[in-house]
Amino acid sequence: MTSHPHDEQGIHTDFRSRMTYADYLKLDSIISSQNPISGHHDEMLFIIIHQVQELWIKLILHELKAATKAILDGDMQPAFKMLARVTRIQHQLIQSWEVLSTLTPAEYLEFRDKLGNASGFQSYQYRLMEFALGYKKEAILKIYKEKPEIYKELQAAYQSPSIYDVTIQSLAKAGFPIPKEILHRDVSKTYEANVSVQNAWKQVYKKAADHWDLYQLAEKLVDVEDAFSQWRFRHMKTVERIIGHKVGTGGSSGVTYLKHVINHRFFPELWDVRTEL
């Protein structure tokens, strides 16, 4: 006689002194953190989508930080795995906009005013992610001055080398002639393309077998930026679909701002070199 799955004899049922699944994941705290303030049915969707995105971004930051250190230490294989994971996470973020796009303009208007000036533009984790990838704007920091701990964390990230800064250092360590002004540049500034760096990548791509680690690293970074661009585009189109060209709740220009940042490139030479190959 075949036993039913529910007849498992070894299942633990006494948790008076044992940690449960809910205990480990702090589910009481997580599941009780969705508190709509409008009473409208669709506000729950809006809250959960943004909370889930923040959790995924937290994991991206965890992986980017470790990958940056691994690259700096010359330990490339773990960095490849971490960056591959980042890209998989990014595809989850891209799909999340598909869910939010089920929110219609009329439905959003039912609770938009309740948000006040709260806006995704203020996501400090998103700023940390931009900083980790090399996009840095000092004016952004002003948003967080009233939150000392967050402001301190952002300032530290703002002053730290990005993953591309340490990648360029790897090019120099491999013997490519990278100018000192690039290797010792002010890392609080957004990186701008450099001919010497592009020439180095050109040689890496032309002789991939001789520079296999750098070649793989380049492609992993391209994967990350490609997915980031897709995420930005889906974000922009979702916002345009729901609120059109209205000003954002945080005071940004909304779709206009989102369209502008789509064109930014974190790793410019990795894209420019493709034209020369």
Query: Helix or strand or coil: residue 130?
Result: helix
Residue numbers belonging to the annotated binding site for substrate:
46-50, 108, 112, 249
Residue among 106, 97, 117, 110 at smallest CA distance from 39 = 110
How far is the C-alpha of 99 from the C-alpha of 238, rounded, in Å?
Answer: 10
CA 51 to chain centre: 14
How far is the C-alpha of 123 from the C-alpha of 224, rounded, in Å?
Answer: 20
Contacts of 35 (CB under 8 A, 6+ apart): 47
How far is the C-alpha of 25 from the C-alpha of 176, rounded, in Å?
Answer: 47
Residue numbers belonging to the annotated binding site for heme:
235
Helix or strand (DSSP H, E) at 228? helix 212-243
How far is the C-alpha of 133 from the C-alpha of 49, rounded, in Å?
Answer: 23
Residue numbers belonging to the annotated binding site:
46-50, 108, 112, 235, 249
With beta carbons less than 8 A apart as the criterion, state whether 86 and 66 touch. no
